[in-house]
Amino acid sequence: MSDTAAPRPYRSYVYAYPHKTAYRPLPAPAPSLAALWRDEPKDALSLYAHIPFCEVRCGFCNLFTRIGAPDELTTRYLDALDRQAATVREALGHRDPVRFATAAFGGGTPTFLTAGELERLCDIAEKRMGVDLRAVPLSVETSPSTATADRLALLAERGATRLSIGVQSFVEAEARAAVRPQHRADVESALGRIRDTDVPVLNIDLIYGIDGQTEESWRASLDAALAWRPEELYLYPLYVRPLTGLGRISPAADREWDEQRLRLYRYGRDHLLGHGYEQVSMRMFRRTDAAPLGPDDYACQTDGMIGLGCGARSYTSALHYSFDYAVEMREIRTIIDAYTETADFSRAEVGRWVDAGEARRRHLLQSLLQAEGMPVAGYEERFGASPFADFPAELDRFEALGWLDAAAPAGLLRLSPEGLAHSDGLGPELFSPSVRAAMAAYEPK
The string of pLDDT tens digits covering residues 162-182 is 999 999 999 999 988 876 778
Res 55: pLDDT: 72
Tell me the H-state helices in 31-134. Answer: 33-37, 73-92, 115-123
Res 168: pLDDT: 92
CB of 261 within 8 A of CB of 285? Answer: no
Distance of CA 103 to the CA centre of its chain: 13
Mean pLDDT along residues 178-189: 87
Q: Please, which pLDDT band fits residue 23 given cuts at 50, 70 and 90?
A: very high
- Asked whether the bond before 29 is cis by omega within 30 degrees of 0, the reply is yes
Res 253: pLDDT: 55
Mean pLDDT along residues 186-208: 96
Res 294: pLDDT: 57
The string of pLDDT tens digits covering residues 285-322 is 999 999 766 555 444 446 699 999 998 999 999 999 99
Of 255 and 376, more confident: 376
Instruction: Report the distance separating Cα 444 and Cα 4, nearest Å.
Output: 32
Res 12: pLDDT: 83
Predicted structure pTM score = 0.92
- 30 burial (CB, 10 Å; 0-12 / 13-18 / 19+) is middle
3-17, 39-53, 242-256, 319-333: which has the minimum mean pLDDT? 242-256
Mean pLDDT along residues 184-188: 96
Mean pLDDT along residues 413-419: 97
Mean pLDDT of the chain: 90
Element housing 48 (H / E): strand 45-51
CB of 98 within 8 A of CB of 130? Answer: yes
Which residues are registered as beta bridge partners of 206? 168, 235
